[in-house]
Each structure stands twice: as C-alpha cells, then as structure tokens.
Amino acid sequence: MKKEKNTLRAGLDTMNDNVPSGSTYISSFATAVPAYSADQSVAEEFMKKHFGDKLSSRSLGLIRTVFSHPSIRKRHFAFDDPSCLVDEDPDQRIARFTERAIELSDRAIRKALEASDTGAADVTGIVVNTCTGYICPGISTYLIERLGLPRSVRAFDMVGSGCGGAIPNLQAADALRRTGGAVLSVSVEICSATFRMDNDLSLILSNALFGDGAAAAVLAGRPGGWELVASAARYVPEQRDTIRYVHRQGQLVNQLSLKLPDLVRTAAAEVVADVLGSRGLKAQDVPHWALHTGGEKIINAVRDEIGIPEERLAATRRVLQEYGNMSSPTVWFVLDEIGRNGVAAGDWCVMVAYGAGLSAHAFLLRRRGVC
C-alpha cells in the first residue's frame, strides 16, 4: 500500500510540474567558450603578420590603438589554429560554424540541465538564437538529436537579432514555458565565422572586440533562481545600417557606425524606463545590472544615460576584459559573473542587450533564494 501511495504521489508531482503557472523562473543557466584563447597582443601580431601587406599605414595605426586598449585582455575563438582564418572559404566557414555552434550549445545545455536537476525527457521546448551563421535545418534539430530530447519537443530557431538576441529568445522561451514543462533558451555565436580584414574601420573594430561563446538556460515553473518579471523592447529600424551584417562575396561582414554609442544610449534608456516603470521602480532600486559588453564607449554611454553607479557595472567590465563581446550570449556571462559575487533573495536585476535592428531589449529579474 505504501508503494502505491508513493507511486501516486510521484505521478501527481509529475503532473504538477507540467501544469502552466503564472511565473517563469530561470532554474539554472550555464555558459561555454572554446578552448582556444588569445590575448590582444597575440591577436594584433596575427593581424599584422597575415594582413599587414594589404593594410594602409592608417589601418595599421588603428590596429595598434584598438588592440592595446585595456578594456579587453583576451578572447576565446572556435578554432584550433587561427591560421584557418587566412584562407577559409565559405564552405569551410559554415562547416566550422555548424560544428562549433552545436558543440558549444551542447556543453552549455548539459551543464544547465545538470545544475537544475532536469532530465532531457523533461524538456518540452527549445529556442535557439544566433546571427553568425545560417543552416537549415537549424541548430535546434542537431541539439534534439545529441541531447536525446523528446521528438515531440517544440523547437524554434531565431536569426537576425544580433548582439541583443538573448533577450528576445528569453521572451519567446518564457511564453513557451507557460504552456507547461521545462524550456531551454540557448544563445550561441561563432563570431570568428564572420571574420574578414580590410582597410575598413568596422572590420578593425570588430576584429578587436568579438569572440565566440554560448549560453543556455533552463526555464521552469517551479519557484527558485531568477524570476522573469517583465520585459521590454525598442526598435529603431531606420538606423539598421549603423549596426548590421552585410553580405560581401558570399560572406557575412560586420558593419558598425561611430554613431552607435549615442544611438544605443537612447534606445537602452528608453527600454529600461519601460521595464522599470511597469513595476514602479527606478534605476536606484536595482542593485544588479547585466549590461551587454558592446565595447567600453557603449557601456559608458548607457551607464551615464540611465544613471547606473559605476560600481554596479563590475560584472560587465570583467566579462568584457576576459571574453570581449561574444554577441548574444554575452549578457548571460555577465549574469553569471553577478551570481559569483553573491545575490540576496529579493534583489532586482536588469538584463540589457542591444544590437542589430537597431534594437535594445531589457528583462527585469528578481532573485528567489540566495546565490
């Protein structure tokens, strides 16, 4: 009789886990980077050695300036030998993107599932975003196979959101989670798969800033971890040419404008005002800020426009220094760094990311339990 009662209780618990609830929680999340890393001086020497003969003296001077900036110390890259970048053709590049994006996503997901004590069989949905490569079918289908997710899982692949993509992904995953079960939110970028070097300021800046990485979160209806409280978005499509990928000779090429700090500061401030205003909060009520590491000038511009105390940006500065800008997963690395420094139960945190579109996104989180 006791065994029958335990079996019944287990069945009821399983049913309750699948019943949609009013709130979604980040039960756990994890990050992953490639094994290969290089500090900025090594990257600078690589650029000069392999591309110096086709770069102008002005470009070489700019490389010297931007690669020596103290805001970034090193970055991680999804290759075993950087020399592959010199003559990598489009077919080789998309093959590397595919292999490494799947590998990094898989690592991040497995760590997140283990931390949340969630099995692959419990996953009912997965949302994957990337902007640094396109494959069909999408990355999600490879992860379904590798992780042994249920073949009935609801899978969605998002493209085109750029560096801000983790938050629209989280919005979609939150909506999906509210239909029941556990949902994976995965952001992965192989920025090195869009590498190109020429006498172009956008390319010089990009090659000094971007790295590769992935992050995965397990969303559940069980209270605990970070609660997803509110989100907001702001799009400025008439400014899409200030930050975007364009195609040249069949390859993606990053395009950046020097006007970005001013444009991003305005959009970020508006979206943060929206998300805080929805709960009657002000910037001073928020002790934790997970800002995307878009570069020091953009971080400073957003800080000043919103009025964030510099000491609350230590996590963002640390991630920029150790990883650079990994595009969409970067904001998860910042949230992870915040957690390492201790967060009290009830603390507010705002995730803010910005990128292609031009767009800015924010998610208001509240800590349920101490980390």
Q: What is the pLDDT of residues 271-315, one digit of tens each?
A: 999 999 999 999 999 999 999 999 999 999 999 999 999 999 999
CATH number, domain of 211, equals: 3.40.47.10
Rounded alpha-carbon distances, angstroms, from residue 341 to 97, 318, 321, 334, 345: 33, 12, 17, 11, 13
Rounded alpha-carbon distances, angstroms, from residue 370 to 340, 344, 367: 11, 5, 7
Q: Is residue 5 part of a domain?
A: no
Q: Is residue 299 part of a domain?
A: yes
Q: Are residues 330 and 352 in the same domain?
A: yes
In the DSSP assignment, the letter for residue 175 is H
Name the residue with tokens 């971080």.
Answer: 299
pLDDT confidence of residue 291: 98
Q: Are residues 215 and 234 in the same domain?
A: no
- Helical (H) or strand (E) element with 127: strand 123-130
* 309 cis-preceded (ω within 30 degrees of 0): no
Model-level pTM?
0.92
Q: Counting beta carbons within 10 angstroms of the beta carbon of residue 121, is it exposed (0 to 12), middle (13 to 18) or buried (19 or more)? A: exposed
* Closest among 313, 301, 312, 314 to 269, alpha carbons compared: 301
Name the residue with tokens 């009013």.
Answer: 22
Beta bridge partners of 368: 225
In the DSSP assignment, the letter for residue 180 is S
Q: Are residues 230 and 215 in the same domain?
A: no
Phi–psi pair at 119, nearest 5 degrees: -90, 160
Q: Are residues 33 and 175 in the same domain?
A: yes
Q: Are residues 262 and 139 in the same domain?
A: no
Say whether pLDDT at 134 is over 70: yes
> Pick the residue with more confidence: 158 or 12?
158
Residue 101 tokens read as 């994006």
Q: Is residue 98 part of a domain?
A: yes
Say whether pLDDT at 6 is over 90: no
Percent of the chain with pLDDT over 90: 85
Q: Are residues 97 and 243 in the same domain?
A: no
Reduce the DSSP state of residue 104 to 3 states and report it: helix
Percent of the chain with pLDDT over 70: 94
Q: Are residues 197 and 330 in the same domain?
A: no
Asked whether the CA dihedral 318, 321, 326, 327 is positive or negative, the reply is: positive
Q: Are residues 146 and 280 in the same domain?
A: no
Amino acid at 242: T
* Closest among 251, 269, 259, 290 to 26, alpha carbons compared: 290
Q: What angle do CA 125, 31, 210 make, to 5 degrees?
A: 110
pLDDT confidence of residue 120: 96
Q: What is the pLDDT of residues 160-185, one digit of tens each?
A: 899 999 999 999 999 999 999 999 99
Q: Is residue 117 part of a domain?
A: yes
End-of-domain residue from the set 193, 220, 247: 220
End-of-domain residue from the set 170, 189, 220: 220
Q: Is residue 325 part of a domain?
A: yes
- Helical (H) or strand (E) element with 202: helix 201-209
pLDDT confidence of residue 1: 36
Task: Report, as an integer, the average pLDDT of 98-127.
Answer: 97
pLDDT confidence of residue 4: 35
Q: What is the pLDDT of residues 217-264, one digit of tens each?
A: 999 999 999 999 999 999 999 998 888 888 787 778 787 788 889 999
Q: Domain total for the chain?
A: 2
Q: Are residues 248 and 185 in the same domain?
A: no
Q: Are residues 168 and 295 in the same domain?
A: no
Q: Are residues 354 and 300 in the same domain?
A: yes
- Helical (H) or strand (E) element with 217: strand 212-220
Say whether pLDDT at 15 is over 90: no
The domain containing residue 188 runs over which residues? 25-220
* Closest among 152, 217, 212 to 182, alpha carbons compared: 217
End-of-domain residue from the set 191, 220, 249: 220
Residue 11 makes CB contacts below 8 A (sequence gap 6+) with none
Q: Are residues 35 and 65 in the same domain?
A: yes
Residue 153 tokens read as 């899982």
Of 42-46, 236-240, 333-337, the least confident = 236-240
